[in-house]
């Protein structure tokens, strides 16, 4: 059944973002990070069982035009389009949101001020610092401009990333910040900040992740992470993770090709 309500103008409204309800229902959602500026790749990902994608405008070669095309390509699929940006500011969040992204993921959410910036960047005043201009977002979600504006502050996700060793001392203040919906633990940058780049399975890094996990799980904020294997994903789901990155588009493509080749050609 479609979740609908009526706003004060008498227009029928429906929930645009199904992720929040999934988390409230206790369901872990699965997603991948899209770094290839390709509509076709998004179309394939949209029919592969994923719940969401993060379109990477921080590390990937994806510009605004490509991001818009990729967001539009999620229409008619189960994918909720999210975008990753390089800094926690309303200026960085404004464009992908106006193009139709249903959430923005920000890096280095280490202190309360960072978390506040994340929460305010995706919301219209008085709750935040986003200003008007969503010319294409209502078209992506098949609603009127009024319906989009009325629902955007509730529907759009404010997503932080905890990925620095300093966050071990400040994680309580991060997750107690009003308006923060989801926090990813970023193992790669966390390990790098500890002088252990590329060694995310090091016991010291794993101990830091355990400390972050326990604090986030005890908070109202949903916990997200990276699951490199199915076994790891199942273990993280059992802990209470609500959003898991199962791979990048490039890594999933590489793994698929490698599996085919290794099944044909003997290892040398």
Give dist(CA 50, CA 242) in Å, integer.
Answer: 13
**What does the pLDDT look like over 71-115, one tens digit per residue?**
999 999 999 999 999 999 999 999 999 999 999 999 999 999 999
**What does the pLDDT look like over 17-66, one tens digit per residue?**
999 999 999 999 999 999 999 999 999 999 999 999 999 999 989 999 99
Is the CB of residue 222 less than 8 Å from the CB of residue 183? yes
Q: What angle do helix axes 39-46 and 64-73 make, rounded to 10 degrees?
A: 30
Give dist(CA 40, CA 124) in Å, integer.
Answer: 33
**What does the pLDDT look like over 123-176, one tens digit per residue?**
999 999 999 999 999 999 999 999 999 999 999 999 999 999 999 999 999 999
pLDDT of residue 13: 62
Q: How big is the chain, counted in residues?
A: 268
Under the banding of pLDDT at 50, 70 and 90, the label for residue 267 is low
Q: Is 203 helix (H, G, I), strand (E, B) or coil?
A: helix
All domains in the chain, ordered by first residue: 4-259 (3.20.20.60)
Whole-structure pTM value = 0.92
Q: Is 59 a catalytic residue?
A: yes
Of 59, 68, 92, 164, the catalytic one is: 59
């Amino acid at each position: 059944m479609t979740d609908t309500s009526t706003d004060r103008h008498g227009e029928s409204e429906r929930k645009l973002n199904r992720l929040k309800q999934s988390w409230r229902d206790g369901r872990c959602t699965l997603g991948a990070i899209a770094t290839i500026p390709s509509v076709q790749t998004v179309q394939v990902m949209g029919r592969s069982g994923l719940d969401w994608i993060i379109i990477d405008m921080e590390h990937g070669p994806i510009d605004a035009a490509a991001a818009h095309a990729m967001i539009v390509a999620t229409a008619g699929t189960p994918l909720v389009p999210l975008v990753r940006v390089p800094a926690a500011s309303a200026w960085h969040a404004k464009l992908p949101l106006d193009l139709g992204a249903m959430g923005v993921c920000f890096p280095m959410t280490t202190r309360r001020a960072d978390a506040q910036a994340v929460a305010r960047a995706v919301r219209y005043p008085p709750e935040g610092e986003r200003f008007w201009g969503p010319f294409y977002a209502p078209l992506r979600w098949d609603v009127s401009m009024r319906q989009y504006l009325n629902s955007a502050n509730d529907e759009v996700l404010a997503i932080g990333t905890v990925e620095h060793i300093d966050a071990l001392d400040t994680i309580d203040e991060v997750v107690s910040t009003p308006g923060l919906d989801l926090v990813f633990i970023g193992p790669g940058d966390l390990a790098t900040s500890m002088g252990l780049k590329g060694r995310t399975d090091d016991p010291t890094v794993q101990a830091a992740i355990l400390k972050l996990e326990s604090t986030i799980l005890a908070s109202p904020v949903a916990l997200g992470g990276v699951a490199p294997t199915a076994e790891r994903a199942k273990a993280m789901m059992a802990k209470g993770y609500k959003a898991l990155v199962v791979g990048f588009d490039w890594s999933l493509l590489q793994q698929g090709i490698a599996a085919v080749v290794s099944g044909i050609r003997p290892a040398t």
